[in-house]
Structure 1
Amino acid sequence: MKRKSLFALSAVIVVAAAALVPVLWSGSDNLHNGSAMAATPADQAALIKRGEYLARAGDCIACHTVRGGKEFAGGLPMATPFGTLFTPNITPDDEFGIGKWSSDDFYRAMHTGRSKDGSLLYPAFPFTSYTKVTRADADAIYAYLRSVPPVHVPSRPHELKFPFNNRNLLIGWRTLFFREGEYKPDPTKSVEWNRGAYLIEGLGHCGMCHTSINAMGGPVNSAAFAGGLIPLQNWYAPSLTSNKEAGLGDWDIKDISDLLKTGVSERGAVFGPMAEVVHNSLQYMSDDDIHAMSTYLKTIPQKDEAPEHLQLETSEQFGSELLKQGQKIYADNCAKCHAENGLGMPPSFPPLANNQSIQMPSAVNPIRMVLNGGYPPSTGGNPKPYGMPPFAQSLSNQEVAAVVTYIRMSWGNHGTPVSPQQVSELRSAPLD
């Protein structure tokens, strides 16, 4: 899922979230519907704690904190086809943060995608999902964000190409792709299902990675949750609507919940951007909310076919040669952990046999794993995860293609061969 507002990173349209934080709470700034602010220190503390939880659910820290830097101080570079964006300082600093925003300003940014001065925000700030967040939850997040220590660091200006530095161009984009409105519960569904839908479609903004982006940088709504390549990250967010990929229709609720909460389950493990989502966000969510999200995800309608993705084809003869070569490479390098029969030793070493993520039409993720290795996230439920070593230095492009081909076509797997050209392209791709 990823959503990492990077998960915001998956938005191909220029990205610049210029609005995620409050400022000092003003005595005249009342909550929605005229209800008074938290009247006692205990009430205010409870509101801040709730807001912290919701900010975790929204994974705000992922985009607004540079690794090793001050929380919410911004400065994270986001490369796009249109230039580089830098996330803003969203601490309650009066000069460089957003210390003079009211709760109304904050809600307007979340709900309508407009900044304090009315200017349009770029849709990498996931307001297209956050518009579903209730006013009460937005106010709680506001209360939390205004409680974090202010950081006196200026936001770095974006470096966008012309004409994408003109925010007025967003008017057309919004007309096509943005529908404002809070989440409306489905009365035919359970309270738990609706809670899960609210989190997945709203704060979680899972569709930003798991839905393909068109040439205009807008979501392909007809293929919602059907998967897509995350632009400039070279990771593939698998389809949640196809059991041939990451479709969850035949998963147990427990396996879905384990994967979301800990990053590992009997069915597999998460790596890449999704590992960051689990580490930064999902591991901190309550068991009830994780169960609600799993309940909703399991009911996403499943389709017979996964979406088509452009792949480099290999000849039938070359594919057979790769398969034979890959069998030896697998026995020498992989079988110790994943077993000769591909069943692995879950959850520490995930199975490769009958693993949807291995067989997807897109071979990006297994190629990246063989090249770069990686670890599932370290979480409370799995504090010392087992990792995958990188083989980029020890295996050639053809050898990587061979072992990935073998894995995709063995033990009943129905994947197709991959070419050394695909490996070559991904070998030089950025790791983040």
Structure 2
Amino acid sequence: LFLSSFQDLFGVSMVVPLMNLHIKSLGASHTVAGIIGSLYGVMQLFSSTFVGCWSDIVGRRYSLLACILLSALGYFLLGNSTTVFLFAISRVPVGIFKHTLSISKALLSDLVSERDRPLVMGRFNAASSVGFILGPVVGGYLAEFEGGFYQTSFICASIFLLNGGLVWMLPWSEENTSNRDHYQDKGTNSFSAKSNHDLHLNSATNSAVTNRSFFQSPWVQVAAVLKKIKGIACSNLWDVFLVRFLMSVAILLYYSNFTLALEERFGVKPLFAGYLISYSSALGVLAGCLLGPITRLYQHNTYRLLLHSSTFTCVLILLYASALNIWMVILSSTFLAFSTTIGRTCIIDLELTVGGNEASGTLLGVGQSVTSVGRIIAPVLSGIAQEFSPCGPPSLAVGLALVAIVIMNANKQKYRSHGSVKLKKQ
């Protein structure tokens, strides 16, 4: 799965930086290019919850394979897009089904214990980040050749087909057995009474659904998906998702005008800003590898680690917003790479701990939708804040991060600090 995640983002990051240039070469205006780009985000927003929930209903194997193959189809169509219309059509299957990483995380959550989950998720994110760092370099090199974009798209589609083969070869029978044993060992201790009522499925039902529901009527699957989403909506996870939303928007605001702000405040060229972003990305990979020792230092208390990392992130963004020289920016970027990587992993682990592994696909899908909403709102907030000052977006980010910290402190009585985070019985 680590290799699959590396190849996934490696292939995608080869293509994404070249897409704007390609669609403009097809004769599209800036407005049309922006609308098509937004179309992908909107489809991701509405599809992530449903696809994640669908993976809980039909099982990880069929849902992951379907998403991989349909994403490969989208990139294959992209490689044949000689008109703006074909380009837009090629984004539809990718926009709806490019949730391969989310389902892979749900599968990892099924396979590992709560104690080991932050470590495994950190390594998974590190592998993905390495692919995201290397992909643009290879894509930029291939773009120098004639027809480079089409070649890059076909290579990306081939990578997804290869990933499909890797997923097919996974020992699924072992995964199912491990998954059932994991649920039975955990029992109901990690759920609140309300979450348990809404989200917990008994093992017999879960086994039957996993084995047979892929071949059931689509209407039966849709009804099961809607029922599962209703269970999430009625659960007590609102504070976790709200914290994820606020911190996501805060980080997006930090990066929204990063290059422009460095140029206006310190006279730094965009090339240096690019190097600084790449430097931060590389440190993020290192942070993912260090999650094991860090979680052991916190005695696997995910909630406390999330609270501290969010507080540290808030302080670092404040340091960047008030920086007097470029060295303060470099210092804040260095440590921010660690705090944001740890925070992203902890919020996912907290969602799964509170909500339960049996709804992991749904939970990760909802979380992805929450982040997608942030991606839609952040550019608007950034534009308004920049009307006042280049430091406006990071200053607003500090305010949002403070609200998230206050929410976590206000709801800490729901949690017990005994090892992994668990909801108190009601």
Task: Quickly name the TM-score band, shorter chain normalised.
Answer: under 0.3
Higher relative contact order (CA 8 A, sep 6+): 2
TM-score normalised to structure 1 length: 0.24
TM-score normalised to structure 2 length: 0.24
